[in-house]
Structure formats: C-alpha cells, structure tokens
C-alpha cells in the first residue's frame, strides 16, 4: 500500500493539472469578451478573487497545520511566485488575449512548458528526458508557425493577423508564469500548503498593485475603479483564473514541474473548442494555427509517454 502512495499522489497531481487547464480555458474565453470594459480589464479584481477563494480553502483544509510548517524560505518563494504570476504574468496574459484573440494567445502561452522545463532542470535539478526534449521542440515549432503566419498575412487581413510584436506580451507572460511555477514548487517542498501558498502569493501581488497605485496615476485610477468596470465576463474570468491558479498550485505539490505544465498545456485545445463551438467568438482556425495547435498537443503527448 505504501509503495502505491507516491503513484496515487502523482495521479492526483495530473488530475489537478487537467482541472487547471479546463479552468484557464474558460477564463481565456471570458477575458476575450471584456474588451469594452474599462480600467485594467479585471486584473486586480481577479487577484482579489484569488485571495478570497484560496483563503477559504486554506481555513477549511490547512489552517491547523500551516503554523507547524511555517518556513521563511517557503514564504519568500511564495512571495516571488506572487510577483511573477499575479502581477507580471496575469497582466501580460490578459493583454495578450485582447491583442491576439483566444486561439493565438493560448498557443503562444504554450511556451510555458518550454521555459518551465528548462528552469526546472537548471534550478530544481529535474531531469529533461529525450521525450521532454522533443516535446519542447514541438512547442517551439508551434510558436514559430504562429509568427510565420502573422508575417505572411500582415497587410491582407489586419484583424486576422496581428503584428509580430503583439506576440511579445504572450512570450514574456509565459516566462513570468514559468518562473512562478519554479518558485511555487521550491516553496512547496519546504512548506507543503498549496492553498496557503496561493493565498500568500495573491496577497503579495495585490499589495504590489496597491503600492503602484500610490505612485502611478494609471494604477491609481485602475485601483479606484476596480469594481466600477466590472461586468459578468470579468467576474466569471476572475473566478475561473482563480480556480486555475489554485488547481495548478496544488498539482505542483504532487507532481514534477515539467509533467504538470505539459498537462496544463491541454488548455489550448479546450480554449479553441470553447471559442469556436460554444461561445462562437472565433471562426475555425486557419491551417497554420491548427497545425501549431497539433504540434503543441504533440509536445504534451511526448511528455505524457515519458
């Protein structure tokens, strides 16, 4: 029985990663429908919602043991994760979705596993197997296809083909999230409290937004108008992003970083299916975008085989 426990925990981590992918897929589609709302389009509100949901889960599931597990190193890692994911990552990804649309932005976000696997190998000594390597190559090729299509179509259909520089929001957003994953995993190894870690990270992120509001007129305006610009899509997106973060944080407590982020990459296919068939916000993807999505999925499959 004891020998099966690590396998069961790993399976739990994989299921949580899949639930995170589904949550983010819904959030992507909800965010894409908030283009007419003002302010920061719900970034700060989504962090506040994450704080609330994770606080409730912490009090219900972990409060009794958190004090015994308290670690300065763990808190520092959670704080860095909050800055990377809640401030930089979330802001850049929200902007990427609005500039690129759901299909392209979620495909660019597939650079997450590429960056995460490299950082996990360098900083956490997680091995990169042959399958991991081929998976990262497939993801890199998917990104290159998207850029090629954008350059080829530029000037023909401006709405359909955003300028290549617009992809940078997604690239740096992916790097920010990858850095957060590494910090979360490192923090969880010394302080295994996923709900508390999510709450603490979100609190740090929200504190940074509040501090920026003191010195920046734009952030001050966004902070004051946090609730003024809400619509049903912003609220729904904030809730789904929050669950996505919580599920992903919990998954990292039971599985290695590379496996978790690769499974979470299924978000792209769920997002495309939702945007085309459920929300009908986008047409069927072009052959190039479809091929990029297939390559990204192949990358996930290679790591799953591993």
Encoded tokens for 294:
């297939």
Contact 85, 261 (CB under 8 A): no
Residue 19 included in any domain = no
pLDDT number for residue 76: 94
Give the integer Cα–Cα distance in Å for 163 and 16. Answer: 35
pLDDT band at 217 (very low <50, low <70, confident <90, very high): confident
| pLDDT score of 175 more than 60 | yes
Name which of 247, 281, 241 is nearest 42 in CA terms.
Answer: 241
249 located within any domain:
yes
The more confident residue out of 294 and 69 is 294
Written as one string, the DSSP assignment of 176-203 is HHHHHHHHHHHHHHHS--HHHHHHHHHH
pLDDT in tens, 84-118: 987 788 778 777 777 777 667 766 766 777 788 88
Q: 186 lies in a domain?
A: yes
Residue 170 in this model has a pLDDT that exceeds 90? no
CA nearest neighbour of 26 among 300, 261, 278: 278
The number of folded domains in the chain is: 1
Q: How far apart are CA 223 and CA 281, in angstroms?
A: 29
Residue 242 has pLDDT above 80, yes or no: yes
The answer to whether residue 252 is domain-embedded is yes
Alpha-carbon distance 265 to 177, whole Å?
13
Q: How many helices (H) and strands (E) does the chain have?
A: 15, 0
Residues near 264 by beta carbon (within 8 Å), at least 6 away in sequence = 17, 18, 20, 21, 24, 112, 113, 248, 251
CA–CA distance, 261 with 283 (Å, rounded to integer): 27
How many angstroms separate the CA atoms of 293 and 287, rounded? 10
302 close to 136: Cβ distance less than 8 angstroms = no
Distance CA 302, CA 306 (A): 7
Q: Residue 86: count other Cβ atoms within 10 Å of its Cβ.
A: 30
Q: Which of 190, 7, 175, 18 is nearest to 92 (CA)?
A: 175
Could you tell me the two tokens for 89?
């990552």
- Nearest-CA neighbor of 207 among 72, 75, 47? 47
Say whether pLDDT at 3 is over 50. Answer: no
In a domain, 11, yes or no: no
Q: Is the pLDDT of residue 79 over 60?
A: yes
What range does the domain containing 281 cover? 37-305
Cβ atoms within 10 A of the Cβ of 2, count? 5
Distance CA 27, CA 100 (A): 15
> Which residues make Cβ contacts (< 8 Å) with residue 184, sequence separation at least 6?
77, 78, 81, 197, 201, 249, 252
What letters, b where the CB count within 10 A reaches 16 and e where it falls short, cover 145-177?
Answer: bbeebbeeeeeeeeeebbeeebbebbbbbbbbb
- The DSSP element (H or E) to which 297 belongs, if any, is helix 287-305
Higher pLDDT among residues 223 and 160, named by residue: 223
Mean pLDDT confidence for 184-191: 92
Q: Residue 22: its pLDDT value, please?
A: 92
Choose the most confident range, by mean pLDDT, from 145-149, 180-184, 209-213, 292-296: 180-184
What is the value of pTM for the model shown? 0.78
Q: Is residue 32 part of a domain?
A: no
Average pLDDT, the chain: 81
């Amino acid at each position: 029985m004891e020998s099966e426990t690590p396998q069961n925990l790993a399976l739990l981590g994989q299921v949580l990663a899949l639930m995170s992918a589904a949550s983010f897929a819904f959030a992507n589609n909800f965010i894409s429908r908030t283009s007419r709302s003002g302010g920061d389009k719900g970034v700060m509100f989504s962090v506040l919602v994450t704080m609330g949901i994770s606080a409730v889960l912490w009090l219900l599931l972990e409060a009794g043991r958190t004090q015994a597990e308290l670690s300065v190193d763990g808190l520092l890692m959670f704080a860095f994760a909050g800055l990377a994911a809640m401030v930089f990552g979330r802001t850049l990804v929200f902007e990427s979705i609005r500039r690129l649309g759901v299909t392209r932005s979620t495909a660019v976000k597939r650079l997450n596993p590429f960056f995460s696997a490299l950082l996990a190998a360098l900083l956490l000594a997680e091995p990169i197997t042959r399958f991991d390597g081929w998976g990262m190559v497939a993801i890199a090729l998917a990104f290159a296809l998207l850029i090629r299509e954008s350059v080829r179509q530029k000037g023909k259909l401006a709405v359909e083909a955003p300028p290549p520089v617009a992809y940078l929001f997604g690239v740096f957003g992916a790097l920010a999230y990858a850095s957060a994953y590494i910090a979360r995993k490192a923090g969880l190894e010394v302080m295994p409290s996923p709900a508390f870690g999510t709450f603490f990270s979100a609190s740090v992120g929200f504190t940074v937004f509040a501090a920026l509001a003191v010195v920046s007129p734009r952030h001050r305006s966004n902070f004051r108008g946090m609730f003024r610009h809400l619509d049903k899509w912003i609220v729904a997106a904030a809730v789904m992003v929050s669950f996505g973060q919580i599920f992903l944080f919990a998954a990292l407590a039971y599985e290695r970083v590379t496996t978790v982020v690769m499974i979470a990459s299924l978000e792209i296919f769920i997002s495309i299916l939702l945007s085309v068939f459920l929300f009908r916000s986008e047409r069927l993807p072009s052959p190039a975008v479809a091929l990029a999505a297939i390559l990204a999925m192949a990358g996930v499959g290679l790591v799953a085989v591993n």
